Structure 1
Amino acid sequence: MERSETVEKFRERLSQVIEERGVTRSAFATEIGLDRSTLSQLLSPGNERLPRSETIVAIARVAQVSVDWLLGVIEQGRAGTQLVANALEIEPGAGLPMDERLERWHKEAVGAKVRYVPSTLPDLLKSPAIIRYEYEAYGALVPQARIEQAEARLAYTRRPETDIEVCTSSQSLRDFAEGRGIWDRLDREARVKQLESMAELTEELYPTFRWFLFDGLWRYSAPYTIFGAKRAAVYLGNMYFVFNGGEQIRALTRHFDDLIRGARMQPPDVPNFILGLLRDLPPKPANATSGKTAAKRAKGMAKK
């Protein structure tokens, strides 16, 4: 193949991948680390030069195509095994209380839609009591740091440019209300206050924050977050699987959209559903005592 033919084929396929990604030239240039004018020059019909090798590799990585296909050397095999491997990063230490990666990824996704399947409740809706309960094993400083992060996330969500969608099963929310599973040691009063707060916040934040509830008998999802078109992080308990490739992000986006299509509860109805959970709770016994009070009483009886 003549050099001029290679340049022409490169230009055609570069235009093709930009169109398929559904982004502007400016956005694509940012993704590959070029300024817009340089990208425009590469796409110009009068251009007779190929970009530097590192630019070609960057384009191939972002577009999830092989370099050989991009240069017209082959007609098939656009995505290669090595490119898929490069699109995945394994991040250990997920869930550490002082982990700042999620905050950084959220900041990088400012202005883009964030899709989120939480492992328990949506972080920005959690009250200080819930956060202390979840992180009580880490000492006093850690829950406080998490509380500050949740408050910052909530403040950001109140900004009009935010766009956040959350999906969880209705059963997981009912389990929380009734104190089942991981919530079995959380006292009733804390659960009631959390439910009241979530009912208010989901109504206040709508429509920039939209919470969908699906039926856990019909749908399932591991916890993950999609940060716009840049990144998706799947939470596996002690590590993140972080996808930076377009096709992997699109696959997770399709999965999230499927959860939404199967949702039994739409965002405007979630506040009333939460209030219904509150109404269904059995009344607190008149002679009920807190766990601490009961423990002290039992200890005193043991001494006697």
Structure 2
Amino acid sequence: MTDKRNRAALFRDRLAQAMAAGGQSQSALARAIGVDRSTLSALLAPGTRLPNAQVVAEAAAALGVSSDWLLGLAAAPAPVDQALAHAVELTEAPRALFDAAIYGWHREAAGYKIRHVPASLPDMLKTRAVVEWEYRDALGGTAEAAIAGFEAQLDHLRGARSDYEIALPLHELAAFAAGTGYWAGLPLADRTAQLDRLIRLADELYPGLRLYLFDAHQVFSAPVTVFGPHLAVIYLGQSYVSFRDPARVAAISAHFDWLVRAAPLGARDVGGHLRALRAGL
């Protein structure tokens, strides 16, 4: 009986909260759920009475909250479909990751660690020549905006507002240095300048920037970024899939930790590897 009284009191309080938040009068809500106004008044009056399941469901639907929340079985008022829609979102993505969504996510994560697996090399560490070569056909006249966006991300890192950990496969750097695969056709001078820039930035920004090189024969990752503890984003090419559910963000963070643990070259070793690639050009 004590539990029933507590649950009834919580139901009354939450029903009143939802009505106030939605600007819903007793008369309007009674019409929406198909009961008399006196019935609704009784539900809002002190007592131990709980409504039947149909009335709870109709009231929840009319007020845009969940039945579980009204009954004290859930902490958040949003219905499950709305909660999922907020927890997982699909957003259009540009060819080069420099749009307002990316910038907003970086600002949102200020002060937190940002973990990143790039689609190729990390955009914010690329030279202007590499950006123009890589994105010229896709971006046309907006290549300059992409460069400005990447420079803004690098300035954000230099401002020490977030730590960055970046993991990328060993074969990506090897193909870049050799000018093969995806990087076929990129002039030697541009590849040399890019390796020089990576070496310089890896030295200059450590430990705020830490690079890890993993072996894709042992572990694998899609392009993904974890913006602190509250947001993780997977890049699909035309879209971002963003997750705000704490369990999913934690799982993707654990995936990044797995890449780091398996990496044969840690943050202290990357500079030497980059210098060896540079010497072999």
Per-residue deviation, residues 125-146 of structure 1 (Å, max 9, x unmatched) = 1100010011111465322111
User: Superposition pairs for residues 117-196 of structure 1, below 5 Å?
Assistant: 117-138=117-138, 141-196=141-196
2:17 aligns with 52
CA contact (8 A) 1:135 1:142 kept: no
CA contact (8 A) 1:213 1:266 kept: yes
Q: Provide the secondary structure at the position in 2 that maps to 1:135.
A: helix
Aligned-CA RMSD value:
2.9
CA contact (8 A) 1:112 1:162 kept: yes
CA positional deviation for 1:107? 1.1
- Confirm whether residue 104 of structure 1 aligns to residue 69 of structure 2: no
CA positional deviation for 1:93? 3.6
Equivalents in 2 of 1:6, 1:52: separation in Å?
Answer: 14
CA contact (8 A) 1:97 1:142 kept: no
TM-score of the superposition, structure 2-length normalised? 0.73
CA contact (8 A) 1:115 1:227 kept: yes
1:206 aligns with 206
AA aligned opposite 2:274: I
Equivalents in 1 of 2:139, 2:259: separation in Å?
Answer: 36
Q: Provide the secondary structure at the position in 1 that maps to 2:264.
A: strand
CA positional deviation for 1:269? 1.2
CA positional deviation for 1:99? 2.7
Alpha-carbon spacing, 1:151–1:86, altered in 2? closer, same or farther (3 Å):
closer
Equivalents in 1 of 2:116, 2:70: separation in Å?
Answer: 34
Alpha-carbon spacing, 1:244–1:97, altered in 2? closer, same or farther (3 Å):
closer
- Number of aligned residues: 230
Per-residue deviation, residues 234-281 of structure 1 (Å, max 9, x unmatched) = 001111111121111111111111111111111121111101011222
CA positional deviation for 1:230? 2.3
Alpha-carbon spacing, 1:52–1:170, altered in 2? closer, same or farther (3 Å):
farther
Q: Provide the secondary structure at the position in 2 that maps to 1:220.
A: coil
1:4 aligns with 6
CA positional deviation for 1:81? 7.4
Equivalents in 2 of 1:6, 1:201: separation in Å?
Answer: 62
AA aligned opposite 1:149: G
Per-residue deviation, residues 12-68 of structure 1 (Å, max 9, x unmatched) = xxxxxxxxxxxxxxxxxxxxxxxxxxxxxxxxxxxx9559349x9xxxxxxxxx873
Alpha-carbon spacing, 1:70–1:203, altered in 2? closer, same or farther (3 Å):
farther
AA aligned opposite 1:52: Q
CA contact (8 A) 1:7 1:71 kept: no
Q: Provide the secondary structure at the position in 2 that maps to 1:240.
A: strand
CA positional deviation for 1:201? 0.3
Equivalents in 1 of 2:218, 2:70: separation in Å?
Answer: 42
Q: Provide the secondary structure at the position in 2 that maps to 1:105.
A: helix
AA aligned opposite 1:111: G
TM-score of the superposition, structure 1-length normalised? 0.67
Alpha-carbon spacing, 1:134–1:2, altered in 2? closer, same or farther (3 Å):
same
Identity %: 35
CA contact (8 A) 1:88 1:244 kept: yes
Superposed structure 1 runs of 4+ greater than 6 Å apart: 79-82
Equivalents in 1 of 2:101, 2:265: separation in Å?
Answer: 31
CA contact (8 A) 2:98 2:149 kept: no
AA aligned opposite 1:158: R
CA contact (8 A) 1:214 1:260 kept: yes
User: Superposition pairs for residues 56-71 of structure 1, below 5 Å?
Assistant: 68=68
CA contact (8 A) 2:96 2:146 kept: no
Equivalents in 1 of 2:228, 2:175: separation in Å?
Answer: 30
1:301 aligns with none
Q: Provide the secondary structure at the position in 1 that maps to 2:269.
A: helix
Alpha-carbon spacing, 1:83–1:142, altered in 2? closer, same or farther (3 Å):
same
1:223 aligns with 223
1:238 aligns with 238
